[in-house]
Each structure stands twice: as C-alpha cells, then as structure tokens.
Amino acid sequence: MANNGEGKQNEVSRHQEVGHKSLLQSDALYQYILETSVYPREPESMKELREITAKHPWNLMTTSADEGQFLSMLLKLINAKNTMEIGVFTGYSLLATALALPEDGKILAMDINRENYELGLPVIEKAGLAHKIDFREGPALPALDQMIEDGKYHGSFDFIFVDADKDNYLNYHKRLIELVKVGGVIGYDNTLWNGSVVAPPDAPLRKYVRYYRDFVLELNKALAADPRIEICMLPVGDGIPICRRVS
C-alpha cells in the first residue's frame, strides 16, 4: 500500500510541474487521448515540427498536440480566413492554423524571436503554407496600437490566438477586442496556468509561476466581466478561454 501511495503522490507532483500540457488527473489518460485521437490524425508536417521542437531547450513553451488539433477544428467550424497569432515560438500552432485555413487565408504572426520561428519555417515551407503567413519580429503591443490608429483593421480578424507574455494579456485584450470582428474569436493560452490559479496562498510555486499567476487571474476576472464577449474556459492544454465577440 505504501508503494501505491507513493506512486500516486509522484503522479500528483508531475501534474504540479508547469509545462505539463494537460490538467487531466492522470498522465495515462492524457496519453490515451493523444494516442487514440490526436496522433493518428496529426498531419505529417505537424508531427515533424513537434519532434523538432521537442529538442529545443524551451520545448515546454510549445502548444500541445491536442490543443493544436482543437485549434484546427475550431478554425474550420468558424470558417476563419483572416487570423492573427501573438507568440509564435517554433510555429506549431501557426502550422495548425495555416493547414486549417483556405488557400487564400492569411495569418499575421508576431513574435520577438525570429530565430525560433525560423527553426520551424522549413517545415512550413515544405508543406507549401509559407504564403499564408506574414511574420513580423518585435513586440506586439506597438504593432497593435499602430493597426488601431490606422483604422482599417477594426473588426477585420476572424480569429486571434495569444500565447505570449502573460503580464501583457490584459493589455492585448484591450486592443484585440477592437480588431476581432463581431462573431469572431480570441483564444488566450495558459489561462489555468497549470492549475496554479487555485493554489493556496502558501503553495510552493516557482517564482515565475507565482509572478505570472497574478496576471492570469486578472485576465480571467476581466474576461468574465467583459460584456462584449461570450466566454467558455476549456481545460485543453494548459487552459484556453474561447472568447466570442458579441458587440
């Protein structure tokens, strides 16, 4: 019995590690989902990029395979054509989006690190999807401010996905709500922050986990109170609220 209890405790500990890409109660159940419904349908290009990213020292930053599958399905359901992605890393979610969009679909992709994006770019090019992507290196907030000032981008995006600096999520939302169309969708990644959003005050959290948790909590509270959107928080990956603009 003692060994069994120790095993369960180890399992709980694993789920407390930031970067574990599921909030499910067991690793085995998550693996079952991956092996039965995600990996068998994962496009070869996404598998290749996922394996390349796994070798990156910051591989925990990547979008999980099940979340990539979900984003692809969502984009097709809403017939998205003009999209934006803030926070690209090596481009796994970007590739999922590019595959889901029609041939003339477009993605405005922003990230402060071109080097990571270029790691996955050969896979995107080999898949014949590079023409859908407009990659811009640099901080997103000034670019968003310029787009709002220009005026022509208001309500022009069908879908926006944010997986970037959590301390600016609320700043992003204040701008993106003007750029997404009425009926369009915004998704913010990592908004359950590996479950730390419900951790007790004295919980032993890593410094950066505790620091960013406050910003995630602030965003979640703001989204719930925003009358311009409908929301649905999904425990996919590390938590992603689907925010549909209604006004």
Predicted pLDDT of residue 198: 92
**HEC per residue, 183-224:** EEEEEECCCCHHHHHHCCCCCCCCHHHHHHHHHHHHHHHHHH
- What phi, psi does 143 have (nearest 5°)? -65, -40
CATH number at residue 106: 3.40.50.150
Q: pLDDT tens digit string along 17-32?
A: 334 556 677 888 889 9
pLDDT digits (tens, 9 = 90+) for 163-209: 999 999 999 999 999 999 999 999 999 999 988 999 988 888 888 88
Domain count within the chain? 1
Nearest to 91 by CA among 122, 120, 126, 132: 120
Residue 7 included in any domain: no
Query: Would the pLDDT of 145 be above 90?
Result: yes
Is residue 29 included in any domain, yes or no?
Answer: yes
With respect to residue 16, please indicate whether it lies within any of the assigned structural domains.
no
- Look at residue 15 in the predicted model and tell me its pLDDT: 38
| pLDDT > 90: percent of the chain | 80
Does the residue 198 lie in any domain? yes
The residue type of 245 is: R
| Average pLDDT of every residue of the chain | 91
Name residue, tokens 């395979």.
65
Residue 152 in contact with residue 78, Cβ under 8 Å?
no
Range of the domain at 126: 23-245
1 residue type, one letter = M
pLDDT band at 14 (very low <50, low <70, confident <90, very high): very low
Residue 229 lies in a domain: yes
Mean pLDDT value of segment 73-78: 98
Assess if residue 78 is contained within a domain.
yes
* Mean pLDDT across 68-97: 98
Residue 145 lies in a domain: yes
pLDDT score, position 194: 86
pLDDT of residue 97: 98
Domain annotation covers residue 81 = yes
